[in-house]
């Protein structure tokens, strides 16, 4: 099995012993991203919708560094501090993914680092022959 680290300065850097993403053959596993502005390291203001957009832009930067995009995402896992914000989260999330959208799990949790409201991780697959 081959594993190659994917890293970009266009998304917040890893703050622990993990990689922004790992490329393993035709699959790319992206670590969870929260709504941190990569330029400032500060959580964006505006609640769960704004954080969702920023988190997905961060995911997009990592995917781009791997030579992929949102159309290559096959699975997302999303963590919400308040499952009551599911509708606002969904409205911010949906425009990022072409049809058919990837499979998804959304889980309500107690807390996230930096007091974030949402965290999103993805798995993407390289197109055949890429």
Any idea where the domains of the chain sit in the sequence? Answer: 4-125
Give dist(CA 54, CA 38) in Å, integer. Answer: 9
Q: Tens digits of per-residue pLDDT, 61-115?
A: 999 999 999 999 999 999 999 999 999 999 999 999 999 999 999 999 999 999 9
CA angle in degrees (0–180, nearest 5) for 52-77-35: 25
CATH topology (fold) of 4-125 = 60s Ribosomal Protein L30; Chain: A; (3.30.1330)
CA angle in degrees (0–180, nearest 5) for 83-85-90: 100
Q: Tens digits of per-residue pLDDT, 26-48?
A: 999 999 999 999 999 999 999 99
- pLDDT score at 14: 86
3-state DSSP assignment of residue 86: helix
DSSP string, 31-43: EEE-SB-TTT--B
Q: How many residues does the chain have?
A: 130
| Inter-helix orientation angle 47-65/86-93, to 10° | 40
Token duo for residue 86: 């599911």
Give dist(CA 105, CA 80) in Å, integer. Answer: 11
Name which of 81, 129, 126, 18 is nearest 89 in CA terms. 81
Is the pTM higher than 0.85? The answer reads yes
DSSP state of 79: E
């Amino acid at each position: 099995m081959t594993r190659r680290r994917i890293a970009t300065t266009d998304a917040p850097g890893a703050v622990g012993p993990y990689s922004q993403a790992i490329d393993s053959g035709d699959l790319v596993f992206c670590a969870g991203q929260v709504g941190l502005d990569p330029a400032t390291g500060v959580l964006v203001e505006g609640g769960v919708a704004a954080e969702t957009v920023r988190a997905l832009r961060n995911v997009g930067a990592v995917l781009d560094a791997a030579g992929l995009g949102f159309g290559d995402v096959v699975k997302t896992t999303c963590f919400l501090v308040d499952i009551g914000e599911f509708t606002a989260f969904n409205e911010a999330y949906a425009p990022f993914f072409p049809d058919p959208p990837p499979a998804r799990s959304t889980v309500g949790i107690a807390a996230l680092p930096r007091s974030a409201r949402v965290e999103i991780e993805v798995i993407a697959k390289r197109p055949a022959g890429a």
